[in-house]
Structure 1
């Protein structure tokens, strides 16, 4: 006997929002969508300090990444959610074509793993973000560390 459970509408909405954040905002630079998807008091717990709090910080982070890696794309491998949280496992790939962390463009391609954890408010906007990235692999691929 198979039991069908009703879909959790909030979790599905939040998963859809997270996918849109990476496909449209992060990958395409659609900063016009930030206020729709992020709460004004957002805390990005793993961003560099000046880019950690609020929607303007998200815009700054997007600008920094799109300048350094204008062709970068997020390849989502898996996404799951429960309650007010969605977790995503993905690859981030592109080419270093602009300044990044004080380094001139190396024109080198990169591809490395990331995981993102987002908490959503009742209105469906992100209130908290945590990211785990393979920064060592990323910097090695760019030739910025040995």
Structure 2
């Protein structure tokens, strides 16, 4: 598969995440996918990704990319941008965070194998988000 095909896989994954369509994970990800972005204590791979999408859907509303840039080289794809949305309130990364809107920089990296996501990494400005939601002082 070519670079443009790999970018389309990431775009389809982004749409899956927005829709919380966990049924399509098997279609877009390899059975042994490694999701390096999962929190400790979550199951590995597809099971943990499915659990994350299911549980976090209850806490986030309207999370989406305000801007997104995608670059690819070989089987690697990186997506960088600003994601924003509404946090419903509650425990966020171990801190009590009030309900509110947020916007944070994010970068996601993917390794594509045979047209499916084999690995995923996430780099997010969680500290900035916690500050926006009043969980930490500015």
1:51 is paired with a residue whose SS is: coil
Q: Does 1:66 align with 2:57?
A: yes
Distance 1:66 1:103, change over 3 A: farther
CA distance in 1, matches of 2:89, 2:19: 16
Unaligned runs of 5+ in 2: none
Alignment of 1:1-146 (within 5 A): 9-23=1-15, 25-51=16-42, 53-97=44-88, 99-101=90-92, 106-122=98-114, 124-146=115-137
- Aligned length in residues: 136
- After superposition, the Cα gap between the structure-2 partners of 1:95 and 1:16, relative to the gap in structure 1 and judged at 3 Å, is same
Unpaired segments of 5 or more residues in structure 1?
A: 1-8
Question: 1:116 Cα shift?
Answer: 0.7
User: Residues 111, 21 of structure 1: CA spacing in aligned structure 2 closer, same or farther, 3 A cutoff?
Assistant: same
Q: Would you say the 8 A contact 1:41–1:127 is kept in 2? A: yes
Q: Secondary structure at the match of 1:71?
A: strand
User: What CA distance in whole angstroms lies between the structure 1 residues aligned with 2:18 and 2:58?
Assistant: 11
- Hey, which of these two has a bigger chunk of strand by percent? 2
> Aligned-pair RMSD on alpha carbons?
1.9
TM-score by length of 2: 0.87
**Equivalents in 2 of 1:118, 1:29: separation in Å?**
19
Max Rg structure: 1
Show CA shifts across 1:115-139 (max 9, x none).
01100112x1111111111111011
1:97-123 Cα distance to aligned partner (Å, 9 max, x none):
15443666622100000001100112x
CA distance in 1, matches of 2:91, 2:24: 24
